[in-house]
Amino acid sequence: MTNLRVLFAGTPEFALASLTALVDAGIKPVAVMTQPDRPAGRGKRLSASPVKRFALEQDIDVLQPETLRDADVVVELAALSPDIVIVAAYGLILPQDVLDIPQHGCLNVHASLLPRWRGAAPIQAAILNGDTETGVSLMSMTAGLDCGPVYATQALAIGNDETAGELHDRLAGLGAELLLRNLAAIVNGDLEAVAQDDSQGSYAAKIGKQDAVLDWRRSAQELKRLVRAYNPVPGAWFDLDGQRIKCWQVSMLDDVDDEAGKVVSSGRRGIIVACGDGGLILESLQRPGKRPVTGAEFSAAVNLADRTLSVPE
């Protein structure tokens, strides 16, 4: 396997786990494709992806095309003569011209149990929808969105209080393990991919900041899932006097029955807000430009007594 010519395509930390596992196993890619450097942080300085930084440390050639629909880019990739392309959270769709390049096709490490949660945000979708388990899939890539046949899956249970960030880290490691465990069998033709049942498919759309707003008219259970699903990115939030307050951790109360958004109490216990069904204790909050604080610390700094928090229009 160390002679296998792998072209790796990935961008964030999820992809880095699989790339690191390949290198540690002696499978050094002939090149890595990753997203172009993007502005990040308060200074909006250009920042390299985790995959790019690691690849440069390992002296692996890095390619950062803006699009894969450029004929010159396709020629450049074909010239690498990859036996297989391994993709993990890359961020660009591979057109048919690219899918046709490698002898053993293109293999995707996807963070869900396909066909459940195809698309850009499967980890967040699993938490938002109250799934009790998720996992990773090794999929043979086709021109459709995450709809190719699947070589192997591995499931794991989702913790009751687990955040998307925590689940991401577990799935990234699990994906790397599943990849190494099955790569030889896939390349050797000893493992057959099984077609997905499209009738069971579900889609996890890309997340925007507005998706993470706390609508107090929803149930406490739904909002707790939302807080978990959008921790750490983009962060659940609510508006308070024109400021976007991030909410990082909550717990539920069943015995709260008041107007949605009403601050039932604010003090040492934290901040209790009535929801459409039940209530939430806001346990970790963050004002813009400030560090996260406990609900008790927030209520000591900001008077929320008898306030009713706004709901989105």
What's the confidence (pLDDT) of residue 18?
98
What's the confidence (pLDDT) of residue 1?
72
pLDDT 10s digit of each residue in the chain, 313 long? 779 999 999 999 999 999 999 999 999 999 999 999 998 777 778 899 999 999 999 999 999 999 999 999 999 999 999 999 999 999 999 999 999 999 999 999 999 999 999 999 999 999 999 999 999 999 999 998 999 999 999 999 999 999 999 999 999 999 999 999 999 999 999 999 999 999 999 999 999 999 999 999 999 999 999 999 999 999 999 999 999 999 999 999 999 999 999 999 998 778 999 999 999 999 999 999 999 999 999 999 998 988 999 988 7
Are the C-beta atoms of residues 142 and 99 closer than 8 Å to each other?
yes
Angle at 215 between CA 214 and CA 218, to 5 degrees: 115
What's the confidence (pLDDT) of residue 311?
87
What's the confidence (pLDDT) of residue 44?
77
Written as six digits, the tokens of 303 are: 């008077």
Q: How far apart are CA 254 and CA 177, in angstroms?
A: 40
- For residue 246, give every residue at least 6 positions away whose Cβ sits within 8 Å of its Cβ, in sequence order, or none: 235, 236, 237, 285, 286, 292
- For residue 275, give every residue at least 6 positions away whose Cβ sits within 8 Å of its Cβ, in sequence order, or none: 216, 217, 218, 219, 220, 223, 256, 260
Residue 126: what are its φ and ψ, rounded to 5°? -60, -40
Q: How far apart are CA 202 and CA 143, in angstroms?
A: 17
Are the C-beta atoms of residues 113 and 174 closer than 8 Å to each other?
no
The structural domains of the chain, ordered by start, are 6-204 (3.40.50.170), 210-301 (3.10.25.10)
- For residue 75, give every residue at least 6 positions away whose Cβ sits within 8 Å of its Cβ, in sequence order, or none: none
Are the C-beta atoms of residues 27 and 102 closer than 8 Å to each other?
no
Residue 155 has what DSSP assignment?
E
Q: How far apart are CA 284 and CA 167, in angstroms?
A: 19
What's the confidence (pLDDT) of residue 52?
97
What's the confidence (pLDDT) of residue 171?
98
What's the confidence (pLDDT) of residue 169?
98
* Continuous H helices in the chain: 13-24, 50-57, 71-79, 96-99, 122-128, 164-188, 220-229, 295-301
